[in-house]
Structure 1
């Protein structure tokens, strides 16, 4: 569907401005009772700014806001390309067991490995390894030399692999020390609390080139929507395209799980929001989905901090509440063939 250029520009401008305002709100608002002038001084690092306020804003809040923005953008991008390559409106990074593999690896590291070892290797690397393992197992179950990659079998294999790794995580938590289990459960429910500037580096380095990669191959993603046969006739290497993008999705999902725990529904809901605004052309859809994903998660994280302040809600709780109505709408559209 062709959208008026003005509507597309408006969608990008409004989303970018809303993301900026939400980011500033995430930096300014919190449990600390600070005056607006004091917060502005601390954000700008003016000489008269109080040192502890600078610490709160620059070392606690700003890295956290950037982390949830990166995670939201990464998951939205993963969901966008997976829905295109599988031609399935219900596809998301969790469909292929990527998040379950990443969370199982991260849970095993938190529960069983020494903290010094995890710090030296890095939780993002371990989570990515789990996501890749789940991805390889899923592909192995869905691929055959005679028929290639079967999309339906891929979905079923992803569900089976996801359930398997979820069981592994539950087993680790059940037999672990209760104090460690509590910390792991809080992290698995989704939280960016305690994010440092160093934690941002893996996802900040991975996301921009994958966005560029997605924009470069956007015409091929559009062609795949026509069907594998037509895309192949147009010269699109469908199998290699899927492998490349699924690998990128595994990387982004693993790093996202390592950064903020299990954050569901973003990769499923946000791409549909973007399509409703500007259509399905991926050269426009990809950047808008990334911006919308960042916006959604920044807003939800802010609400998690202020709804029950000084207590915090896990990201997964509010996301599930907000995502349920749009998910029902998507199911109805799929059932009605819209």
Structure 2
């Protein structure tokens, strides 16, 4: 027991230290050629710091780093919740169509709606509506009145719904004005470039609230893994819990897509990484998964900026390249029933 507690403390300490270090690296490194002293002066906003360097650090890089950290944590938490509620290790916002639904709604808003209306309604709200619609369609396809929710069919339905909404997004882009197409394509491939401080507010409010709620209800999540009947016998309101966490996962996914575009595999791979490190108990799993998700996306976003500098790689492309090998390992573990 003492060894487990010591290992848990060491893992959380390492993750808590790695996140600000990764964030600092994301703020320091980039395409602009700055000296170390100049970077430090701009970061600390010292009186003698050059004005344009302060602008680069505080208005361009820092909001972007914070956004990808929030998106990584939000998608990781969404993956944990969906895998627990569905008792399916392959469940995640990307595979179940939430990300594609959110992106289709956002793309439609960019292409068709006036900018003033989008600003009034809010891209996060539109993306959340698209994510919720896609997930409801996925659940409807996988649910049978006689057999209930088929977890295998759910994955297949999610893939089909995801492809459908991706096709809708592609259609909207194809018929859009050429001036809009380039921006929409860059956003769909994943990018947090151009993030402002105001863009951070929705996720900065939603993520801590859902992390706290999930942590508080973590024993119920553990009980759900035993099956609906056993969880109900233990006094867990499974239907209400599932509806609430599905809504929360859709909200986090929609806000993430609105903030950084399509970012796949974080919600699938990161929860499995956390389980391998710390086990399946949700009181430990949830905070570690959120930290790891934030670290992974901050590091990948930094690589997107420096690998082909001054050109920038799309976040979703580089992340998919890194996530493919772990995803194959996860499939092998699922096949073996590990």
Q: For residues 93-104 of structure 1, what are the structure 2 equivalents within 5 Å?
A: 93-104=93-104
- Aligned-pair distance for 1:139? 3.2
Does the Cα contact within 8 Å between 1:105 and 1:129 map onto a contact in 2?
A: yes
Secondary structure at 2:302's aligned position in 1? Answer: helix
- Aligned-pair distance for 1:149? 4.2
Bigger shift: 140-149 or 234-243? 140-149
Secondary structure at 1:4's aligned position in 2? Answer: helix
In 2: Cα distance, 1:16 partner to 1:150 partner:
38
What's the counterpart of residue 200 of structure 1? 200
In 2: Cα distance, 1:256 partner to 1:148 partner:
30
- Aligned-pair distance for 1:20? 0.9
Bigger shift: 169-178 or 198-207? 169-178
Q: For residues 315-326 of structure 1, what are the structure 2 equivalents within 5 Å?
A: 315-326=315-326
CA RMSD of aligned residues (A): 1.7
Does the Cα contact within 8 Å between 1:108 and 1:169 map onto a contact in 2?
A: yes
Residues 146-175 of structure 1: CA distance to partner in whole angstroms, max 9, x if unpaired? 655444443333233222211211111121
- Aligned-pair distance for 1:260? 0.1
What's the counterpart of residue 246 of structure 1? 246
Does the Cα contact within 8 Å between 2:26 and 2:302 map onto a contact in 1?
A: yes
In 2: Cα distance, 1:294 partner to 1:157 partner:
29
What's the counterpart of residue 27 of structure 1? 27
What TM-score do the two structures reach when normalised by structure 1? Answer: 0.96
What's the counterpart of residue 215 of structure 1? 215
- Aligned-pair distance for 1:115? 2.1
Does the Cα contact within 8 Å between 2:88 and 2:151 map onto a contact in 1?
A: no
Q: For residues 1-338 of structure 1, what are the structure 2 equivalents within 5 Å?
A: 4-143=4-143, 148-338=148-338
Runs of 4+ in 1 over 6 A off after TM superposition: none
What TM-score do the two structures reach when normalised by structure 2? Answer: 0.96
Does the Cα contact within 8 Å between 1:149 and 1:239 map onto a contact in 2?
A: no
Residues 162-216 of structure 1: CA distance to partner in whole angstroms, max 9, x if unpaired? 2221121111112112331121111100000000000000111111110011011
Does the Cα contact within 8 Å between 2:90 and 2:155 map onto a contact in 1?
A: no
Does the Cα contact within 8 Å between 1:3 and 1:279 map onto a contact in 2?
A: no
Contiguous gaps of at least 5 residues in structure 2: none
Residues 58-85 of structure 1: CA distance to partner in whole angstroms, max 9, x if unpaired? 1000000000000000000000111111
Cα distance change on mapping 1:151 and 1:219 into 2, 3 Å: same
In 1: Cα distance, 2:129 partner to 2:22 partner:
33
In 1: Cα distance, 2:26 partner to 2:160 partner:
38
